[in-house]
Amino acid sequence: MLSSPIFKTALLSAALAGALAAPGEPAPGSGGTESSPSRESGPPARRDPLRSFSQEITPALRLSIDRGFNYLVRNQLTSGSFAGSEGFTVAVNALVGLAFLAGGYTDKEGPYTETVRNCTQCLLSYQNEQGYFDDRESRMYGHGFATLYLAELHGMAGDQRERVRSALKRAVQVIELSQSSDGGWDYQPDSRFGGSGSRGESDTSITVCQAMALRAARNLGIQVQPAVVERARAYIRNAQNSDGGFCYRLSGAIRWGGGSQFPRSAAGVCILYSLAKTPEEYHSPQLNRGYDYLLENYRGFSQFPFYGQYYCTQAMFQAGGKKWAEYFPYLRDRLMKTQKKDGSWSGGGMEVTSQTTAMALISLQMPFRFLPITER
């Protein structure tokens, strides 16, 4: 995979432009002075970008990624969906699509063009007339992931580009108009889009999913109402517990499922960082507490391990420095060790095979730096 023309071109361009500098460091020649968001004083010591890249991307990792992609290709159905989706077609297709984009593969370049094209067409077929991606199971989780995928795909899309942009604009409107009064989002969209609306309390992990999608769309130039983003920022900040983790739901002053858990806390830290507006916010006490929580808990048991590591990988990548240097080798080796013979990853419980395989691939390919949403 990494010997493909698209990867060689991207690697050379990134090296020349300095894009392969360690996360949290200014690119060579950029004149940047922004420091790592980690708590270490000053920016981390500069590393040779190509040497850093070669240390993160090992031959064993390359093989593991190829095996994962081969599993997905073999298990794509004629409908464009994937075996093992267990009814969560929208969410799974969006995540699988993101996995291919994370490797630099699109519907117009690379060896998986047909797979990506069929994946996208299948996903778009689930968008109703009002703009909501509805497979009846994924709910706003699926809609958020679908919106994020379309935003990341748009700049790389081939002959589907105009259709993707149109679908993306309508999907963003669904998110904006389905926001709860507390600034978060619930499982169902507003009734205007075929849902039952909010129950008066928002789910933290669903809120992160929508906020990430809005950020990606806004980065692309799609109009997003600033007030919607500000209310989402306020919700996430209010959902943080004193230990740095995040509660399940907020309902006024009541915190449902108030105890912190790793998966939603990883998501919370990721979006706290992603929605930061000033350099000072990258060093805020809230963000520091969040990273402390992740560093203390990422090796422990998790009910949704792939979901948690998907967000934790993004959060650690954004932090860079010692945090990333400690975390990524651990995650890489753990995922390679637990990969099944057929190339997939199995999460068990409520995490389905195509989803876990896609999330594992996204996490493993974070050092490639292809997904714009992962950058500051």
Per-residue pLDDT of 128-168, as tens digits, reads 999 999 999 999 999 999 999 999 999 787 677 899 999 99
Whether 313 shows a pLDDT value over 90: the answer reads: yes
Residue type, 319: A
pLDDT band at 200 (very low <50, low <70, confident <90, very high): confident
In this predicted model, which residue has the larger pLDDT, 249 or 5?
Answer: 249
Residue for token digits 């006024």?
A: 252
Give the C-alpha separation, 239 to 39, whole Å. 22
Mean pLDDT of 205-211: 97
3-state helix, strand, coil in the chain (%, to 5): 55, 5, 40
All residues at 6 or more sequence positions from 23 whose CB lies less than 8 Å from its CB, including other chains: 36, 317, 318, 319, 320, 321, 324
pLDDT band at 18 (very low <50, low <70, confident <90, very high): very low
pTM: 0.86
Alpha carbon separation from 89 to 138, 176, 266 (Å, rounded)? 7, 23, 24
pLDDT band at 21 (very low <50, low <70, confident <90, very high): very low
Q: What percent of the chain has pLDDT over 90?
A: 74
75: alpha, beta or left? (left if phi > 0; alpha if psi -120 to 50)? alpha
Whether 253 shows a pLDDT value over 80: the answer reads: no
CB 206 within 8 A of CB 249: no
In this predicted model, which residue has the larger pLDDT, 13 or 360?
Answer: 360
**Strand, helix or coil at 127?**
strand
Name residue 284's beta-bridge partners. none
Read off the pLDDT of residues 67-108 as tens digits, 9 standing for 90 and up.
999 999 999 999 999 998 988 999 999 999 999 999 999 988
All residues at 6 or more sequence positions from 71 whose CB lies less than 8 Å from its CB, including other chains: 342, 343, 344, 357
pLDDT band at 11 (very low <50, low <70, confident <90, very high): very low
In this predicted model, which residue has the larger pLDDT, 33 or 114?
Answer: 114
Give the C-alpha separation, 243 to 295, whole Å. 12
User: How many other C-beta atoms are found inside a 10 Å radius of the C-beta of residue 74?
Assistant: 12
Give the C-alpha separation, 175 to 185, whole Å. 8
Give the C-alpha separation, 336 to 338, whole Å. 6
All residues at 6 or more sequence positions from 154 whose CB lies less than 8 Å from its CB, including other chains: 161, 164, 165, 168, 220
Whether 12 shows a pLDDT value over 80: the answer reads: no
